[in-house]
Amino acid sequence: MKKVIVSLSVLFFMISFTETAHAQWGIGASYEIRKEEPTNGFGVRVERSMLGFVPVVDFNMRAHFSYFNETNTLSPSGAAISGDTEAFDYGLALTAGIKIALIKPYVGFGIGAETIDFETAGQGSFKENNFYWNAFGGAELRLLPLLNPFLEYRITNLTSTDQLDTSNIGRVAIGINLRF
């Protein structure tokens, strides 16, 4: 009987003072759609969990990169110029999400840089670098322990556009995160 009481006490002690394990790293990939040209692209992200001792809220630090490529026609001063447009951006953000059963809604805020490169065949090129801030919100579906599909909407404000007339840019990202 003494062995049973000691075993149950040890088991109770272990269950009482253990924390549930949660993912500390996340790597994700997404398909991204925006109104500006180029309109379709791909993104990758790496996230690191912070403040794991907070019970309900999940805080993360995120690094992200997006790439867009398309053949476009620009018409400055009435003359049409056709060429390839590449846009890529990268940045850092802080996110906060609430762990609610199977869905984790989240919001975030960050900074980054964007480069837009328009190159024509034999007619020259145009390149612009911009600093931006962004805010975003989304939801992650937590069906499986490792794979979490997500949907996100991000608003970006470019702060140093010289030749572009895009003060606010919004995009939708649909993708999947691998959490470990």
pTM of the entire structure? 0.75
pLDDT at residue 18 in the model: 41
Q: Is residue 38 reached through a cis peptide bond, with omega within 30 degrees of 0 on the bond before it? A: yes
Where exactly are the structural domains of the chain?
A: 23-179
pLDDT at residue 39 in the model: 87
pLDDT at residue 58 in the model: 86
- Is 116 in contact with 128 (CB distance < 8 Å)? yes
pLDDT at residue 150 in the model: 96
103-119 and 81-98 as β-strands: parallel, antiparallel, unpaired? antiparallel
The CATH code that applies to domain 23-179 is 2.40.160.20
Task: Tell me how far apart the alpha carbons of residues 97 and 138 are, in angstroms, rounded to a whole number.
Answer: 9
CB atoms within 10 A of CB 55: 9
In tens digits, the chain (180 residues) has pLDDT values of 666 666 656 545 554 444 445 668 999 999 999 888 788 999 999 999 988 777 788 899 999 999 998 876 666 566 666 778 888 999 999 999 998 888 999 999 999 998 888 787 777 777 888 888 999 999 999 888 789 999 999 988 877 555 555 555 789 999 999 988
Task: Tell me how far apart the alpha carbons of residues 103 and 107 are, in angstroms, rounded to a whole number.
Answer: 13
pLDDT at residue 17 in the model: 45
Element (H, E) at 177: strand 168-179
Task: Tell me how far apart the alpha carbons of residues 141 and 136 are, in angstroms, rounded to a whole number.
Answer: 17
